[in-house]
Structure 1
Amino acid sequence: MITKLPKWILWGGAVLAFSAGCVNTAALMGFANLSVSHVTGNVSLFASAIAYLDVHSILYIGALLLSFLAGAVLSGFVIGQAPLKLGKRYGRALYLEAFLLVVSYWLYQQHDYLGQLAAAMACGLQNAMVATYSGAVIRTTHLTGLTSDMGAAIGNWLAGRSISKPTLGFQAIIWYCFCGGSVVGAFLYAKVGYGALLVPITIVLTAAFIYNYASDHLPEKRLPRHKKRSSS
């Protein structure tokens, strides 16, 4: 289990969770009324559509689920499974996410349902990318597993067992940042509609630029690994 994360991951996870919250709320409040940052609820809606033989909903929600999956596939293709370190691959993934969000914004402005699919792909890419950052411990586009992990950790702490307080603190930061981004997304959507997406677009582009700059100017760093016991 990871017990300590570099500060650039802490900040990165926080701002990306804020961005995802903003994107998801705008998508939910828009004409499609569907989440783009996670799949659980959409799978339930997909199953309901199958039960009622609603072909239109089956096709559209199915495409939405596949779009999230495609974003995760794209993340895996670009980043791979290399140990965590500063490098260009994560920067490329962030630029791809920003591009997908720009496409989504443009399509939303045309009242095109494909905008929802582009936003879902961007969220799938981000979620898989950050999961690679933290060894699949942290997700930044939804809170179900995160909340469960936090609850289990708090329960263990109340029972007097040791827990990873840095991990719990990071999870709490992600939770509040996603919630904060959702508040901002809802407020901006009520004021400027899909113009609310300009905030997460700016956040992701800025993160990509800063990350690439750090990759070029800072020494390579990896996550600390547990020492293996020497065999005699």
Structure 2
Amino acid sequence: MITKLPKWILWGGAVLAFSAGCVNTAALMGFARLSVSHVTGNVSLFAAAIAYLDVRSILYIGALLLSFLAGAIMSGFVIGQTSLKLGRRYGRALYIEAALLLLSYWLYQQHDYLGQLTAAMACGLQNAMVATYSGAVIRTTHLTGLTSDMGAAIGNWLAGRPISKPTLGFQAIIWYCFCGGSVAGAFLYASVGYGALLLPVSIVLIAAIVYNRASDHLPETRDPIR
């Protein structure tokens, strides 16, 4: 469990969760009407499309699922590890994510479904980028597992059992930041359409620049369990 969370992880997780919430809401409000930040609901839609032999939906949703997976694979290729450790590989992954989001914005402007795929790839990359820290699972692009973990922790606390308050606090921050990003994405999409994606593009790009500059001056951080 997280006992002492480095500030760079706290701020990084919060910022990326906000960005993912914004991206996902814009994608859902757009012409494709499909989520890009997680796969669970899309798998159900994929199964329904198979049941109704809706070939168009099978192809579109199947490609979306594979794009999220491709982003996660890209993260593993670039970062090459399963535990948090400072290094410029995270900076490179963030630059790639920013580029994917920018490409997604341009494709969406052309009303091209490939924009949905590149947005999903960016989210898959981000979600796999930060896997675990001190035994606590960290997810920044969806809230299902996070909400379950928070609920279980609160239940244990109500029963008088000890819990990791830093872990619960971090999870709550991620939850609220994703929700806040979703609200921001909804308002921006209602005002400027897919221009809403320029906010997460800017956020991720700035995060990459700040991280690369800061990583040279921060002490090396490893997951003590792994």
Task: Show the counterpart of 2:224.
Answer: 225
Task: Show the counterpart of 1:102.
Answer: 102
Q: Return the alpha-carbon distance in structure 2 between the equivalents of residues 48 and 96 of structure 1.
A: 33
Deviation at 1:215, TM superposition (A): 1.7
Which structure has the greater CA radius of gyration? 1
Q: Return the alpha-carbon distance in structure 1 between the equivalents of residues 34 and 134 of structure 2.
A: 28
Q: Return the alpha-carbon distance in structure 2 between the equivalents of residues 5 and 78 of structure 1.
A: 24
Deviation at 1:223, TM superposition (A): 3.6
Aligned to 2:37, what secondary structure does the other structure show? coil
Deviation at 1:5, TM superposition (A): 1.6
Pairs within 5 Å for 1:59-74: 59-74=59-74
Pairs within 5 Å for 1:90-169: 90-132=90-132, 137-169=137-169
Q: Deviations over 1:30-60 (max 9, x none)?
A: 0000000000000000000000000000000
Deviation at 1:72, TM superposition (A): 0.2
Range that drifts further, 126-135 or 51-60: 126-135
| Percent of residue pairs identical | 86
Contact residue 76 and residue 129 of structure 2 kept, 8 A: yes
Pairs within 5 Å for 1:211-222: 211-216=211-216, 218-222=217-221
Structure 1 length as normaliser, TM-score? 0.94
Contact residue 20 and residue 178 of structure 2 kept, 8 A: yes
Aligned to 2:137, what secondary structure does the other structure show? coil
Task: Show the counterpart of 1:230.
Answer: none
Aligned to 1:71, what secondary structure does the other structure show? helix
Q: Return the alpha-carbon distance in structure 1 between the equivalents of residues 74 and 156 of structure 2.
A: 37
Gap regions ≥5 residues in structure 1: 227-232
Q: 1:181 to 1:134 in 2, by over 3 A?
A: farther
Task: Show the counterpart of 1:187.
Answer: 187
Q: 1:130 to 1:83 in 2, by over 3 A?
A: closer
Number of residue equivalences: 225
Q: Return the alpha-carbon distance in structure 2 between the equivalents of residues 22 and 38 of structure 1.
A: 13
Contact residue 127 and residue 141 of structure 2 kept, 8 A: yes
AA matched with 1:200:
P
Deviation at 1:2, TM superposition (A): 2.8
AA matched with 1:29:
M
AA matched with 2:220:
K
Aligned to 1:111, what secondary structure does the other structure show? coil
Q: 1:189 to 1:134 in 2, by over 3 A?
A: farther
Aligned to 1:5, what secondary structure does the other structure show? coil
Contact residue 20 and residue 123 of structure 1 kept, 8 A: yes
Deviation at 1:138, TM superposition (A): 1.0
Name segments (4+ residues, structure 1) moved above 6 Å: none
Task: Show the counterpart of 1:44.
Answer: 44
Deviation at 1:4, TM superposition (A): 2.2
CA RMSD of aligned residues (A): 1.4
AA matched with 1:121:
M
Q: Return the alpha-carbon distance in structure 2 between the equivalents of residues 82 and 146 of structure 1.
A: 19
Gap regions ≥5 residues in structure 2: none
Structure 2 length as normaliser, TM-score? 0.96
